Every structure is written in C-alpha cells, then in structure tokens.
C-alpha cells in the first residue's frame, strides 16, 4: 500500500536562509504517514480508529528544498505488528521550471491505531502481505529495536531546562531556549489531540533558535535523531518546548529538545513529558558553505555527561556513514 501528497513551497514556508523550513518538511512527512496508516488500519470491518504517531526514526536532510519547488511526499507501509504500523516516507523536490527532481529526505515512522470511541484504547492492526519472507523478518527486527529504545528513552530525559542568569557565551545556558504554546483546535485532530507533525515543527523551531544563538550564523537542520512520543497532548494543554545544546563537533551541533505538557484545564493530571528528540544542525555562510562551529563549553557534571553521550552518538553515526572498514592485507 502506497500514498503520495504534493504541494508547492510558498514564501511562508521559508527559514531565514531562504530554504524551506525543516519543520515544514517534518510536518508533511507526518501527514503522509498518518494518512496511509489510518487508511490501512480501517481497511477491514471492525471498530474505526485513527493512527497516532508514536515514533520517528532518524531522519536525514539530504538536500535543501527551495521556495517555488514542489514537494512530493510518498509513503509506503513496510511492516505491521499486532498494534503498530511502520511507514517509510521519501520526499522529492521538483523544480517545475526545469523538471529537475532530487531526493531531499527519507524517514521511517511508527503509528498505533487508537479507537474513535475511546482514544486510550489501542486496536489491532490488519496484517500486510509481504512479497518475501525476509521482509517480515527484517521488519520484526526493526520493530523490536525501536520498542527497546522507546522504553530506554521514556524516562531518560526526566529533567527540565532551567534558565541561568548572565550565562557566558558558548555555554549550554547561553543558547538554551524555550517556547510556550497553548494547544488550540487548529493544532489538533478531529478528536482533540495534537498532530505529531505540529509538535515536530515546534521542536525544530526551538532547536533552530538554540543553534542560531550558539553560532550567530545561518543554520539548517542536518538530521533528526529518533523522536519519541511518550504521551498524547490534548487540546487546551499548555506545552513547553525546551532546547539545549548537548554536543558540538567541528561542523555540527547536537540539540536535545524536550516537550512537556501542562493540562491547565484538568486539575486531575500533572505536567508530563510528552516527547523528546535530538536534532543536528550545521552552520552556513551567506553563500551556503559549511562553517566551523564554536565549541560548546560544558560546565556542570550533567552537561559534561550529556556532551560525552552526544559525542558517542556522533561517532557512531559517522562510522555508519563511512561504512565498514576495509580489511587490512
């Protein structure tokens, strides 16, 4: 099963560098995934449901998209477990003047079907038919891996970002930023819960502010590590999206983004962690060339620990990009 959505990129989709905002692309990716997974989960007779985003795997921004180009977002279901759907999404940009097309993004998303009668009830997913047995086995491995990581990350980011008076440049406190947003009807599905794409766009905006404050140049999203959605966000909640820099290499910055929801109209529920992720940004000159990044100065023991963890993720991903080493004769 496959699906595609397309739309032209307008000036209000641009970031300050003039390219399409990374958060806009993330939102389109989520919309395509939600359409195909909801359609699939309602393909058989039974209780009707809506597919809710549970996790986004690492997403790389392979090439910038420009204003005036057409974004083609194609989605395909690649695996189903008893209660979840894996969707793989590709984003192509098309210059409609020249006909040139290029791949800009690839992403993998996981959805769970929630009953329309009771949104806290997770329904069973209709199975897909695989053309090869290996496809099912490979999908099961991906499912087990993401399930384990979700459990590990749910409580890893329990702390909150606190402001520090008069911070020094290049420190974590100097660039950390927060955005407070009241969840309104336009942010939500028909059932009163925030679209995953809306949350991802807000997270990308905060990460971009942190990156710009740190290096004071044009910045662009290079990649997003796995985004985990720990709990649903209801209409009427006040959400706080906080970002802090965790690691810098010579030419990239890793930013941790946390989303906390405060159900101000419901006294029975306390503030809770709704989502978390790591974003990677790069610094660009006015000509679009990569620039060196000012090195982060971790001060506290927690900041030093997060820096080393970020360095480990950076080196692991660098090794994965370079591929296995050639055997020595």
pLDDT confidence of residue 107: 95
Active site residue 15: yes
Q: Are 278 and 223 in contact (CB under 8 A)?
A: no
Indicate the burial class of 158 (C-beta count within 10 angstroms; 0-12, 13-18, 19 or more).
exposed
Residues 6+ apart with CB under 8 A from 90: 73, 74, 103, 105, 106
**Dihedral of alpha carbons 222, 219, 206, 234, sign:** negative
pLDDT confidence of residue 156: 56
Kindly report whether the global pTM for this prediction surpasses the value 0.75. Answer: yes
More confident residue, 92 or 3: 92
Strand (E) or helix (H) holding 108: strand 101-115
Indicate the burial class of 132 (C-beta count within 10 angstroms; 0-12, 13-18, 19 or more).
exposed
pLDDT confidence of residue 166: 84
Catalytic member of 187, 204, 225, 260: 204
- Whether 17 shows a pLDDT value over 80: the answer reads no
Q: Are 272 and 226 in contact (CB under 8 A)?
A: no
Catalytic member of 15, 42, 157, 218: 15
pLDDT tens by residue, 67-105? 999 999 999 999 999 999 999 999 999 999 999 999 999
Q: What percent of the chain has pLDDT over 70?
A: 95
Residue with tokens 């090439």: 63
Look at residues 201, 222, 219 and name the one whose alpha carbon lies nearest to residue 210.
219
Q: Which domains does the chain have, with CATH numbers?
A: 2-135 (3.10.129.10), 172-322 (3.10.129.10)
pLDDT confidence of residue 329: 45
pLDDT confidence of residue 158: 58
Q: What percent of the chain has pLDDT over 90?
A: 74
Q: Are 39 and 1 in contact (CB under 8 A)?
A: yes
The whole-chain average pLDDT of the chain stands at 90
Provide the 3-class DSSP secondary structure of residue 7. strand
Of 130-139, 200-209, 318-327, where does mean pLDDT reach its minimum? 318-327
More confident residue, 320 or 64: 64
- Whether 50 shows a pLDDT value over 70: the answer reads yes
pLDDT tens by residue, 251-310? 999 999 999 999 987 777 889 999 999 999 999 888 878 999 999 999 999 999 999 999
Q: Count CB-CB contacts under 10 A for residue 182.
A: 11
Local confidence band at 226 (pLDDT 50, 70, 90 cut-offs) = confident
Active site residue 120: no
Give mean pLDDT, residues 126-152: 88
CA distance linking residue 73 with residue 145, whole number of Å:
26
């Amino acid at each position: 099963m496959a699906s595609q959505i397309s739309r032209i990129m307008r000036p209000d989709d641009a970031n300050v560098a003039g390219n399409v905002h990374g958060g806009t692309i993330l939102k389109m990716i989520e919309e395509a995934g939600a359409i195909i997974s909801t359609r699939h989960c309602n393909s058989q007779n039974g209780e009707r449901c809506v597919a809710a985003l549970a996790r986004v795997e690492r997403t790389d921004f392979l090439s910038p998209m420009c204003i005036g180009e057409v974004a083609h977002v194609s989605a395909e279901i690649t695996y189903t477990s008893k209660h979840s759907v894996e969707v793989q999404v590709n984003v192509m940009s098309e210059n409609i003047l020249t006909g040139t097309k290029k791949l800009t993004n690839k992403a993998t998303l996981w959805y769970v079907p929630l009953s329309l009668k009771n949104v806290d009830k997770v329904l069973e997913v209709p199975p897909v038919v695989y053309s090869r047995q290996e496809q099912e086995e490979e999908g099961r491995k991906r499912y087990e891996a993401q399930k384990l990581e979700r459990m590990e990350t749910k409580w890893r980011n329990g702390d909150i970002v606190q402001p520090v008076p008069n911070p020094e440049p290049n420190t974590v406190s100097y660039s950390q930023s927060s955005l407070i947003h009241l969840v309104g009807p336009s942010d939500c599905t028909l059932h009163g819960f925030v679209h995953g794409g809306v949350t991802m766009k807000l997270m990308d905006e905060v990460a971009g502010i942190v990156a710009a404050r740190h290096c004071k140049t044009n910045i662009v999203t290079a990649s997003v590590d796995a985004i985990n959605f720990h709990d649903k966000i209801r209409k009427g909640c006040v959400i706080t999206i906080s970002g802090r820099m965790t690691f810098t290499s010579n030419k990239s910055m890793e930013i941790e983004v946390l989303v906390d929801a405060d159900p101000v109209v419901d006294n029975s529920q306390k503030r809770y962690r709704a989502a978390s992720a790591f974003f990677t940004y790069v610094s660009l000159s006015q000509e679009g060339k990569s620039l060196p990044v000012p090195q982060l100065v971790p001060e506290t023991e927690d900041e030093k620990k997060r820096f080393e963890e970020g360095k480990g993720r950076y080196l692991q991903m660098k090794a994965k990009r370079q591929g296995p080493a050639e055997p020595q004769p």
